């Protein structure tokens, strides 16, 4: 019996161990898988011909091979003849970063079956396909030309970074030199960016002769192009005089006057050496500047707009133009701000008889100024008003002495102290004294007639009452 119990204890233990191992196995199977990184493969393969666009004619490359260890392409400049034949001008290749190459030259122009399908042509031969059989005919490659260099100056004893040598027919592997007489300076770090652009550096010796130097580009086939006197070397020990910038001047402004509160369009602010982005201001001592808006500048003319404040000082203002580079020019007292001209809308009374004074109680209008004068105008002899009072900018009172004044219509003129004037024509009527007598007699007769009617007929309408 004891042995039987021991047997069942042994079986139970084995079951427990089996369960434990089974659980560990299940947990291991549920473990999170380790993420893997997929490497980015090359976009192009050996034999691909690539460029910036599918129709590019400049900077076309042949992919020779891809090196996975360095993640770089081996590439070579490739050219295409008018008959469609692809060729290389030399055996030179270069290693270029894969990502940068695919970014700068994303277009696949075509693919050749093998690198040998793009032959290297010697400087004196270019393959030409005539019919079913390919033959080689001699044709000289075009020589390079040099049309410009940036920058075009350098100081002796310094290194100058050339950001661009412009020209045509530059080839990979070209050399660049500066030359003056028998002396030469060879460029370093030469990069043929394209058939029309090269970058490099010139380490200019401290003893280099100051003056003009020729710029020469030499292709690998020996052909060269030169820009005569294209680069200038200066010596720091040589005193040089920097030419002063051309002097900005302001000579005229049209129109040259404006009224307070008005917006004035300047159609021609004339002068010399104006720059795009120039500012224009009206200035006057003790006053805030009036800045123009909508400024459009050419070398000799500016158009702009001034919004003249209602409280701007009356009188002469300077016209100042300032270029973005800091130079400025002034037309002294070139612009005049005035008060608005006066206007007359009505006069009361509008008439009187000759020989008598008349008090004008309301000469109405706008922009009247203290000190204004008023007169009647008819022919060459005016009648000057007295006791002139400018009640407000819209009302004047005064007195006219009409002694000896001719009968008829007269113009009314108001002149402000700034000489601006306005005329109401016709504005006032002077009647003759005979007409006054007739009017007076008519009024007397009318009164007398009324009294007679009252005396003759007034009592007949009364009722008499009494007892």
Res 427 pLDDT > 80: yes
Q: In angstroms, how far is CA 14 from the centroid of its own chain?
A: 91
Return the pLDDT at 140.
Answer: 63
Which residues partner with 344 through β-bridges? 365
**Band of pLDDT at residue 29, cut at 50, 70 and 90:** very low
> Poorest-confidence range of 13-27, 148-162, 252-266?
13-27
Domain extent for 349: 343-434
Residue 413: name the closest of 370, 383, 380 by CA: 383
- Are 117 and 84 in a shared domain? yes
Res 435 pLDDT > 80: no
Query: Which phi and psi angles does 415 have, rounded to 5°?
Result: -125, 120
Asked, for residue 188, whether it belongs to a domain, the answer is yes
Q: How far is Cα 248 from Cα 272, in angstroms, rounded to an integer?
A: 6
219 within 8 A of 142, measured Cβ to Cβ: no
Mean pLDDT of the chain: 84
- Are 360 and 331 in a shared domain? no
Res 441 pLDDT > 60: yes
Asked, for residue 377, whether it belongs to a domain, the answer is yes
Res 132 pLDDT > 60: no
Q: What is the mean pLDDT of residues 246-255?
A: 93
CATH code of the domain in which 388 resides: 2.60.40.10
- Are 199 and 260 in a shared domain? no
Cis peptide leading into residue 349 (ω within 30°): yes
Query: Which phi and psi angles does 208 have, rounded to 5°?
Result: -65, 140
Res 81 pLDDT > 80: yes
Res 48 pLDDT > 60: yes
Asked, for residue 123, whether it belongs to a domain, the answer is yes
Res 10 pLDDT > 80: no
Res 261 pLDDT > 70: yes
Asked, for residue 241, whether it belongs to a domain, the answer is no
Res 398 pLDDT > 60: yes
Structure tokens at 249: 């001047």
Query: Which phi and psi angles does 461 have, rounded to 5°?
Result: -95, 0
356 within 8 A of 276, measured Cβ to Cβ: no
Residue where a domain stops, chosen among 102, 133, 164: 133
Q: Would you call 331 exposed, middle or buried from its count of C-beta atoms within 10 A (0-12, 13-18, 19+)?
A: buried
- Between 71 and 90, the higher pLDDT residue: 71
Please, what is the Cα angle at 282 between 276 and 285, to 5 degrees?
A: 135
Return the pLDDT at 467.
Answer: 43
Return the pLDDT at 219.
Answer: 92
Asked, for residue 38, whether it belongs to a domain, the answer is no
Q: Find tokens 């290749």 and name the residue.
A: 93
Return the pLDDT at 125.
Answer: 43
Q: What is the mean pLDDT of residues 238-249?
A: 70
- Are 373 and 400 in a shared domain? yes
- Between 1 and 175, the higher pLDDT residue: 175
Structure tokens at 157: 């004893």
- Are 348 and 428 in a shared domain? yes
Return the pLDDT at 19.
Answer: 55
365 within 8 A of 414, measured Cβ to Cβ: yes
Q: Are strands 134-138 and 125-129 parallel, antiparallel or unpaired?
A: antiparallel
Asked, for residue 206, whether it belongs to a domain, the answer is yes
> Poorest-confidence range of 13-27, 206-220, 252-266, 344-358?
13-27
- Residue 257's contacts (CB-CB under 8 Å, 6 or more residues apart) are 335, 336, 337, 338
Asked, for residue 259, whether it belongs to a domain, the answer is yes
Q: What is the mean pLDDT of residues 240-263?
A: 86
Res 267 pLDDT > 60: yes
Res 134 pLDDT > 60: no
Q: What is the mean pLDDT of residues 9-25?
A: 58
- Are 331 and 354 in a shared domain? no
Structure tokens at 12: 């139970």
Return the pLDDT at 24.
Answer: 46
Residue where a domain stops, chosen among 94, 110, 133: 133
- Between 77 and 373, the higher pLDDT residue: 373
Q: How far is Cα 270 from Cα 254, in angstroms, rounded to an integer?
A: 9
Q: What is the mean pLDDT of residues 52-64?
A: 86
Residue where a domain stops, chosen among 166, 199, 234: 234
What percent of the chain is predicted at pLDDT more than 70? Answer: 80
- Are 293 and 351 in a shared domain? no
> Using only C-alpha atoms, what is the Rg of the chain?
52
Residue 347: name the closest of 411, 433, 419 by CA: 411
Q: Is the dihedral of CA 119, 124, 127, 133 positive or negative?
A: negative
Instruction: Tell me the per-residue pLDDT of 215-233, one tens digit each, with 9 for 90 and over.
Output: 999 998 889 999 999 999 9
- Between 139 and 191, the higher pLDDT residue: 191
Q: What is the mean pLDDT of residues 278-296?
A: 95
Res 21 pLDDT > 80: no
Return the pLDDT at 139.
Answer: 52
> Poorest-confidence range of 258-262, 351-355, 409-413, 454-458?
454-458
Asked, for residue 31, whether it belongs to a domain, the answer is no
Structure tokens at 364: 């109405």
Q: How far is Cα 231 from Cα 229, in angstroms, rounded to an integer?
A: 6
Q: Assign 3-class secondary structure to the chain.
A: CHHHHHHHHHHHHHHHHHHHHHHHHHHHHCCCCCCCCCCCCCCCCCCEEEECCCCCCCCCEEEEEEECCCCEEEEEECEECCCCCEEECCCCCEEEEHHHHHHHCCEEEEECCCHHHCCECCCCEEEEECCCCEEEEECCCCCCEEEEEECCEEECCCEEEEEEEEEECCCCCCEEEEEECCEEEECEEEEEEECCEEEEEEECCCCCCCEEEEEEEECCCCCEEEEEEEEEEECCCCCCCCCCCCCCEEEEEECCEEECCCEEEEEEEEEECCCCCCEEEEECCCCCCEECEEEEECCCEEEEEEECCCCCCCEEEEEEEECCCCCEEEEEEEEEEECCCCEEEEEECCEEECCCEEEEEEEEEECCCCCCEEEEECCCCCEECEEEEEEECCEEEEEEECCCCCCEEEEEEEECCCCCEEEEEEEEEEECHHHHHHHHHHHHHHHHHHHHHHHHHCHHHCCCCCC
Instruction: Tell me the per-residue pLDDT of 174-216, one tens digit each, with 9 for 90 and over.
Output: 999 999 988 999 999 999 888 899 999 999 999 999 999 999 9
Residue 382: name the closest of 354, 352, 356, 406 by CA: 406
Return the pLDDT at 122.
Answer: 62
Res 40 pLDDT > 70: yes
What dihedral angle (degrees, nearest 10) is formed by the CA atoms of 13, 16, 20, 23? 160
- Are 333 and 347 in a shared domain? no
Number of domain units in the chain: 4
Q: How far is Cα 333 from Cα 316, in angstroms, rounded to an integer?
A: 5
Return the pLDDT at 400.
Answer: 95
- Residue 217's contacts (CB-CB under 8 Å, 6 or more residues apart) are 144, 146, 165, 167, 170, 174, 175, 176, 198, 224, 225, 226
> Poorest-confidence range of 55-64, 158-167, 173-182, 185-194?
55-64
Res 319 pLDDT > 80: yes
Please, what is the Cα angle at 270 between 267 and 276, to 5 degrees?
A: 85
- Are 285 and 357 in a shared domain? no
Q: What is the mean pLDDT of residues 297-308?
A: 95
């Amino acid at each position: 019996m004891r042995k039987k119990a021991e047997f069942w204890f042994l079986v139970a233990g084995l079951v427990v161990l089996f369960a434990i191992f089974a659980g560990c196995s299940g947990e291991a199977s549920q473990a999170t898988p380790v993420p893997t990184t997929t490497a980015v493969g090359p976009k192009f393969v050996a034999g691909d011909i690539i460029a910036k666009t599918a129709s590019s004619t400049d900077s076309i490359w042949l992919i020779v091979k891809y090196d996975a260890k360095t993640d770089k392409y081996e590439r070579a400049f490739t050219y295409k003849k008018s008959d469609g034949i692809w060729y290389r001008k030399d055996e030179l290749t270069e290693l270029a970063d894969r990502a940068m190459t695919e970014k700068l030259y994303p277009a696949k122009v075509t693919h050749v079956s093998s690198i040998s399908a793009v032959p290297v042509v010697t400087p004196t031969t270019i393959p030409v396909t005539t019919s079913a059989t390919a033959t080689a005919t001699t044709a000289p490659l075009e020589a390079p030309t040099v049309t410009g260099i940036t920058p075009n100056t350098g100081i002796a004893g310094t290194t100058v970074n050339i950001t661009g040598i412009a020209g045509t027919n530059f080839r990979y592997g070209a050399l660049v030199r500066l030359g003056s007489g028998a002396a030469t300076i060879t460029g370093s770090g030469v990069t043929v960016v394209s058939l029309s652009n090269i970058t490099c550096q010139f380490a200019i010796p401290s003893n280099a002769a100051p003056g003009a130097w020729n710029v020469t580009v030499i292709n690998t086939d020996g052909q060269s192009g030169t820009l005569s006197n294209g680069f200038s070397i200066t010596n720091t020990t040589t005193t040089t005089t920097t030419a002063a910038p051309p002097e900005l001047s302001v000579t005229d402004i049209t129109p040259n006057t404006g009224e307070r509160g008005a917006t004035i369009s300047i159609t021609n602010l004339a002068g010399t050496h104006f720059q795009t982005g120039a500012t224009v201001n009206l200035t006057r001592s003790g006053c805030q500047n009036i800045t123009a808006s909508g400024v459009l500048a050419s070398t000799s003319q500016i158009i702009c707009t001034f919004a003249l404040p209602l409280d701007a000082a009356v009188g002469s203002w300077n016209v100042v133009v300032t270029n973005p580079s800091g130079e400025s020019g002034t037309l002294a007292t070139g612009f005049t701000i005035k008060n608005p001209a006066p206007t007359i809308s009505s006069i009361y009374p509008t008439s009187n008889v000759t020989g008598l004074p008349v008090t004008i109680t309301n000469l109405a209008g706008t922009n009247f100024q203290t000190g204004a004068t008023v007169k009647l105008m008819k022919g060459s002899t005016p009648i000057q008003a007295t006791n002139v009072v400018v009640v407000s900018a819209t009302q004047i009172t005064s007195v006219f002495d009409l002694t000896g004044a001719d009968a008829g219509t007269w113009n009314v003129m108001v002149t402000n102290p700034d000489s601006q004037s306005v005329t109401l024509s016709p504005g006032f009527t002077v009647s003759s004294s005979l007409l006054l007598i007739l009017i007076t007699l008519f009024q007397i007769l009318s009164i007398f007639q009324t009294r007679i009617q009252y005396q003759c007929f007034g009592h007949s309408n009364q009722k008499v009452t009494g007892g």
